[in-house]
């Protein structure tokens, strides 16, 4: 019984709750724009008005910016790295395990092997109030 409960917990999914962030007065468009790669930023600077639509940034980050080798580095704050992992996948909800694997992979590639206990990651995700990282509730899963 205890094992089953534990399993359910490990399957909890997270995503960036952009609607909530916008409702709380954060500009997701600006937050995303600052995670674009150098060459994208150069192009963005030439635009007369900034792109406020976070969907546009999300798409380009997935296609372009997240492919850059310095998109996620091991010396970034952990939650910044997690935020970028979500953006790279178009903000698809991910389980704790997936996020953990993705982080470990990125860190290995960047040459800084790190060890992070999954419970610590969970605690940090649950405490986040800066990036909008939220647990997906059961009703959100169905919609």
For residue 94, the SS3 value is strand
Structure tokens that stand for 3 in this block = 């094992």
Stretch that binds Zn ion, among 11-19, 60-68, 102-110, 114-122 (CB under 5 A): 60-68
Stretch that binds Zn ion, among 16-24, 63-71, 79-87, 111-119 (CB under 5 A): 63-71
Structure tokens that stand for 51 in this block = 């792109």
Of 60 and 100, which has the nearer Cβ to Zn ion? Answer: 60
Structure tokens that stand for 81 in this block = 């790295």
Question: Among residues 65, 82, 96, 103, which is the contact residue for Zn ion, using CB under 5 A?
Answer: 65
Stretch that binds Zn ion, among 7-15, 58-66, 84-92, 97-105 (CB under 5 A): 58-66
Of 37 and 124, which has the nearer Cβ to Zn ion? Answer: 37
Count of residues interacting with Zn ion (CB under 5 A): 4
Q: Does 37 bind Zn ion (CB under 5 A)?
A: yes
Q: Does 40 bind Zn ion (CB under 5 A)?
A: yes
Structure tokens that stand for 132 in this block = 């909008």
Q: Are 74 and 110 in contact (CB under 8 A)?
A: yes
Q: Does 64 bind Zn ion (CB under 5 A)?
A: yes
Q: How far apart are CA 140 and CA 25, in angstroms?
A: 22
Q: Does 87 bind Zn ion (CB under 5 A)?
A: no
Q: How far apart are CA 73 and CA 112, in angstroms?
A: 9
Maximum distance among all Cα pairs of the chain, rounded to whole angstroms: 59
DSSP secondary structure code for residue 133 in this structure: E
Which positions lie near Zn ion, rule CB under 5 A?
A: 37, 40, 64-65
């Amino acid at each position: 019984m205890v094992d089953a409960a534990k399993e359910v917990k490990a399957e909890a999914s997270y995503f960036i709750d952009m609607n909530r962030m916008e409702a709380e007065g954060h500009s997701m468009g600006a937050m995303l724009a600052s995670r674009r790669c150098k060459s994208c930023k150069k192009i963005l600077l030439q635009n007369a008005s900034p792109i406020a639509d976070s969907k546009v940034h999300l798409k380009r980050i997935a296609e372009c910016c997240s492919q850059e080798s310095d998109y996620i580095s091991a010396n970034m704050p952990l939650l910044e790295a997690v935020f970028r992992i979500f953006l790279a996948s178009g903000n698809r909800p991910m389980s704790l395990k997936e996020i953990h694997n993705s982080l470990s992979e990125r860190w290995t590639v960047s040459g800084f092997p790190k060890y992070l206990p999954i419970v610590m990651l969970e605690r940090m995700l649950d405490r986040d109030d800066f990036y909008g990282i939220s647990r997906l509730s059961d009703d959100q899963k169905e919609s």
